[in-house]
């Protein structure tokens, strides 16, 4: 499930690509979805600042990553799938929810909430990385997730404060390194920090690999 295209206003492209690579290697068949809604805003990625008087559609932008093979999230039915995975990027906190603005008081897009609840109720695994675990923390009360470490550690974990917001939502935050994934076996939710950590790209790729591997293992049980 994508949230646009580009780290500051949509899906983190490297995370989405890593997920697709690991799913392919694991022998999974993949369908890509995104909500057919306007983005919260458009960010000029050369400046890291919002662009004035621009609007973009989350589904249309996500289609760039999907190479055009994408469907509206409204069409996603858990009965037709074995697992769901949500990459990070600020789109998860701006378009799939209002977490970037409202923190623990955020609202989650109704189709995102529906999908999370459907997969959870069906006992099917859900993978989330980077900032996306806040979606599970908000919708699936009491879930265990990780966004990495809980202290910034000199800038290595610049978004460490997210862990406190997760706790405020009633979820349990589990400290993990960037190459690791946390598996909540009770809820079948698998999370990994990804770009919540300032580190080398291959470390993020490895952590996402651990997440995907665990999701596929849970799906096959």
Does the annotation mark 130 as catalytic?
Answer: yes
CA distance 88 to 10: 8
Distance of alpha carbon 178 from alpha carbon 185, whole angstroms: 20
Long-range contacts of 212-215 (CB under 8 A, 24+ apart): 212/19, 212/22, 212/23, 212/26, 212/85, 212/127, 213/22, 213/26, 213/181, 214/125, 214/127, 214/181, 214/183, 214/190, 215/83, 215/85, 215/125, 215/126, 215/127, 215/190
Cβ proximity of 94 and 39 under 8 Å: yes
Q: How many residues appear in the chain?
A: 221
Do the strands 126-129 and 189-192 form a parallel or antiparallel pair, or are they unpaired?
A: parallel
| Active-site position among 5, 106, 130, 197 | 130
| Residues forming the active site | 130
């Amino acid at each position: 499930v994508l949230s646009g295209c580009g780290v500051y206003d949509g899906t983190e492209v490297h995370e989405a690509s890593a997920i697709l690579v690991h799913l392919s290697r694991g022998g999974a068949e993949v369908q890509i979805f995104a909500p057919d809604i306007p983005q919260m805003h458009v960010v000029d990625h050369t400046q890291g600042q919002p662009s004035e008087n621009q609007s973009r559609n989350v589904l249309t932008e996500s289609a760039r990553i999907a190479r055009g093979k994408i469907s509206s999230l409204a069409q996603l039915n858990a009965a037709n799938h074995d697992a769901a995975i949500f990459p990070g990027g600020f789109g998860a906190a701006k378009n799939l929810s209002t977490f970037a603005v409202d923190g623990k008081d955020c609202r989650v897009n109704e189709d995102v909430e529906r999908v999370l609840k459907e997969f959870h109720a069906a006992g099917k695994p859900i993978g989330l990385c980077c900032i996306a675990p806040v979606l599970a923390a908000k919708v699936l009360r009491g879930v265990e997730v990780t966004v990495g470490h809980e202290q910034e550690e000199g800038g290595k974990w610049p978004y460490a404060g997210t862990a406190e917001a997760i706790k405020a939502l009633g979820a349990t935050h589990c400290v993990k390194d960037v190459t690791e994934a946390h598996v909540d076996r009770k809820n079948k939710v698998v999370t990994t920090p990804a770009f919540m950590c300032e580190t080398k790209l291959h470390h993020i790729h490895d952590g996402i690999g651990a997440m995907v591997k665990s999701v596929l293992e849970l799906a096959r049980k």
